[in-house]
Structure 1
Amino acid sequence: MNSPATWDQETFAAAVGDAVWAPSIHNSQPWRFRRTEDGVDVLVDQRRVLPVSDPEGRAARVSCGATVFNLGLALAVAGAPAVCTVRPGGASVHLARDVGRAATPLERRLHRQIRRRHTNRAPFAETHVDAGVVTQLEEAVAREGGWLDFAADEPTLTSLAALTRQADAQLRVNPRYVAELRAWSESADLAVEGVGRQAAGAAPHPAELMPRRDFGGPEHDDTRDPTRGPAVAVFGVHGDHAVDEIRAGIVLQRLLLLAADLGLAVAMYSQPIEMPVVRERLRLAVRRAHSPQLVLRFGYAPTTCYTNRRPVADVIVADAVG
Structure 2
Amino acid sequence: MAARQLDSGTVTTLVAEATAAPSMHNAQPWRFRLLPDEALLLLYADLRRAMHRSDPGHRALHIGCGAALFNLRVAAAHAGLAPEVRLLPDPADPLLLAAVHFAEPATDDDELRRLHPAISRRHTSRYPFTEREVPEDVRAALRAAAAREGAELLFPGRWHTETVLELVRDAEGRETLDPVTREDLTRWTRLGPEADVATDGVPEYAFGPHRRDGKAPLRDFAGRRPVADRGAADFERNPQLALLSTRGDTPADWLLAGQALERVLLEATSAGLATSLTSHPLESPDLRLLARDPVAGSGHVQMVLRLGYGPGGLASPRRPVHEVLDIT
**TM-score, with normalisation over the residues of structure 2?**
0.89
Deviations 1:72-106 (A, max 9, x none): 11111111221111015474101012433343333
Q: Name the counterpart of 1:276.
A: 285
Alignment of 1:149-188 (within 5 A): 149-152=154-157, 154-185=158-189, 186=191, 187-188=194-195
Q: Distance in 2 between matches of 1:211 and 1:66?
A: 20
Q: Name the counterpart of 1:15.
A: 14
Matched, 1:143 2:148: yes
2:271 to 230, 252, 262: 262
What secondary structure does 1:113 align onto?
helix
Deviations 1:167-190 (A, max 9, x none): 221122221232432222132332
Alignment of 1:213-232 (within 5 A): 213-215=220-222, 217=227, 218-222=229-233, 224-225=234-235, 227-232=236-241
Shift of residue 272, structure 1, vs aligned partner: 0.9
Q: Name the counterpart of 1:199.
A: 206
The answer (yes or no) to whether the contact 1:193–1:308 under 8 Å persists in 2 is yes
Matched, 1:101 2:106: yes
Sequence identity percentage: 34
Q: Distance in 2 between matches of 1:32 and 1:273?
A: 25
Q: Distance in 1 between matches of 2:249 and 2:238?
A: 30
Q: CA RMSD in A?
A: 2.0
Shift of residue 205, structure 1, vs aligned partner: 5.1
Give the 3 Å change call, closer, same or farther, for CA 205–273 of structure 1 in structure 2: farther
Q: Name the counterpart of 2:250.
A: 241
The answer (yes or no) to whether the contact 2:210–2:232 under 8 Å persists in 1 is no
Q: Distance in 2 between matches of 1:118 and 1:76?
A: 21
1:114 to 105, 110, 119: 119
The answer (yes or no) to whether the contact 1:204–1:211 under 8 Å persists in 2 is no
196-205 vs 133-142, which moves further: 196-205
Shift of residue 211, structure 1, vs aligned partner: 3.7
Give the 3 Å change call, closer, same or farther, for CA 301–284 of structure 1 in structure 2: closer
Q: Distance in 1 between matches of 2:297 and 2:22?
A: 25
Q: Distance in 2 between matches of 1:101 and 1:169?
A: 53
Q: Distance in 1 between matches of 2:258 and 2:184?
A: 23
Alignment of 1:115-134 (within 5 A): 115-134=120-139
The answer (yes or no) to whether the contact 2:3–2:104 under 8 Å persists in 1 is no
Alignment of 1:69-108 (within 5 A): 69-87=70-88, 88=91, 89=94, 91-108=96-113
Give the 3 Å change call, closer, same or farther, for CA 244–301 of structure 1 in structure 2: same
Give the 3 Å change call, closer, same or farther, for CA 261–284 of structure 1 in structure 2: closer
Q: Distance in 2 between matches of 1:286 and 1:111?
A: 36
Q: Distance in 2 between matches of 1:209 and 1:313?
A: 37
The answer (yes or no) to whether the contact 2:174–2:181 under 8 Å persists in 1 is no
The answer (yes or no) to whether the contact 1:80–1:98 under 8 Å persists in 2 is yes
179-188 vs 258-267, which moves further: 179-188
Q: Distance in 1 between matches of 2:293 and 2:308?
A: 25
What secondary structure does 1:124 align onto?
coil
Q: Distance in 1 between matches of 2:319 and 2:295?
A: 37
Give the 3 Å change call, closer, same or farther, for CA 6–286 of structure 1 in structure 2: farther
188-197 vs 88-97, which moves further: 88-97
Q: Distance in 2 between matches of 1:287 and 1:172?
A: 32
Q: How many residue pairs get matched?
A: 314
What secondary structure does 1:177 align onto?
coil
Q: Distance in 2 between matches of 1:214 and 1:131?
A: 32
Give the 3 Å change call, closer, same or farther, for CA 168–192 of structure 1 in structure 2: same
- Give ranges in structure 2 of 5+ residues lacking alignment: none
The answer (yes or no) to whether the contact 1:43–1:92 under 8 Å persists in 2 is yes
The answer (yes or no) to whether the contact 2:278–2:304 under 8 Å persists in 1 is yes
Shift of residue 34, structure 1, vs aligned partner: 0.7
Amino acid at match of 1:200: F
Q: Distance in 1 between matches of 2:211 and 2:256?
A: 31
Q: Distance in 1 between matches of 2:255 and 2:232?
A: 40
Give the 3 Å change call, closer, same or farther, for CA 221–303 of structure 1 in structure 2: closer
The answer (yes or no) to whether the contact 1:122–1:201 under 8 Å persists in 2 is yes
14-23 vs 276-285, which moves further: 276-285
Shift of residue 309, structure 1, vs aligned partner: 0.3
Amino acid at match of 2:50: V
